[in-house]
Amino acid sequence: MYRTSAIIQILRDFPGGICRKKPEHLKAVVKEYLKSKRRGTNHAGEIKRGSLQSKHGSSKIRTCYIYMGKCKRNRQRIRTFVIKPSGVDYDLLTPDDMVVVDLNGNKVEGKYNPSSDTATHVELYKAFPNIGGVVHTHSSWATSWAQAGRAIPCYGTTHADYIYGEVPCARCLEGKEFEEYEKNTGLLIVDLFKDKDYEAVPAVLCKNHGPFAWGKDAHEAVHNAVVLEEVAKMASRCELINPQVKPAPQDLQDKHYFRKHGANAYYGQGNK
């Protein structure tokens, strides 16, 4: 199967099931994005400059880059993904401008060079087999924590509902690591998560850079990016109001996370 990736700056009500078997089908997905923008509908989301608005609230994230994907979980069947070309204005994109790339970072199809951040996403997709979407933003609150080089503690149940424990912050690259900057950014994240559950903690901060988030599909990846920005904002305000604040009690964190996630989850309507 294939992963699809695209640059999105406003996404609302993203539909599932965009996985396809051939590169031309991936481009058809991107075409639907652009058509929905022209129609003025939110069937597949709006593509344009500005901000990312979650479907569950009115908060907005100002972003620089958002890469999205969807794939089947069997990574042995993954072959290629589609990504925005480097340096091409969002408003000028057409389906034919999108670039098909394999999981070695090689261009398979397209007239342009792929995004300069492609190598980072390749490493995440290769290392985290259950993800189908990767999102990289420069949203202001999460990026502020990244620039400060601090993990985001779990101060309350909003955070605990979606992310189990703190959002970690990876170190900054050093010396010769910058020679393969994008690839090593991905490898650094992968190394940080070698003893972490990437599905329970679907986000990371890169020191002096910004946040990455991911999910089982494109919709969830964007949703997690929105959640990350909100918890970063609330954590910042929390520390401003009470500089001595401590993380939420572990029992409270466990209760809120595991009632929505895992074998014993009971939140929502289930599969009735």
Q: Which tokens go with 12? A: 């609302």
CB 204 within 8 A of CB 189: yes
Q: How far apart are CA 172 and CA 58, in angstroms?
A: 33
What secondary structure letter does DSSP report for 19? Answer: -
Selected catalytic residue, list 65, 102, 112, 161: 161
* d(C-alpha 221, C-alpha 63), whole Å: 14
Inter-residue contact 129 to 198 (CB < 8 Å): no
The answer to whether residue 181 is catalytic is: no
Give the span between the Cα atoms of 38 and 52, in whole angstroms: 18
Q: Are the C-beta atoms of residues 132 and 69 closer than 8 Å to each other? A: yes
Cβ atoms of residues 54 and 65 within 8 Å: no
Of these residues, 90, 197, 254, 267, which one is catalytic? 267
**Tokens representing 227?**
């959640």
Alpha carbon distance 231, 174 (integer Å): 29
- Residue 216's SS3 state is coil
- As a whole number of angstroms, the distance between CA 132 and CA 74 comes to 11
Catalytic residue status for 161: yes
Q: CB under 8 Å to 136, separation ≥6 — which residues?
A: 65, 66, 67, 117, 120, 121, 210, 211, 212
Q: Give the residue numbers marked as catalytic.
A: 161, 267
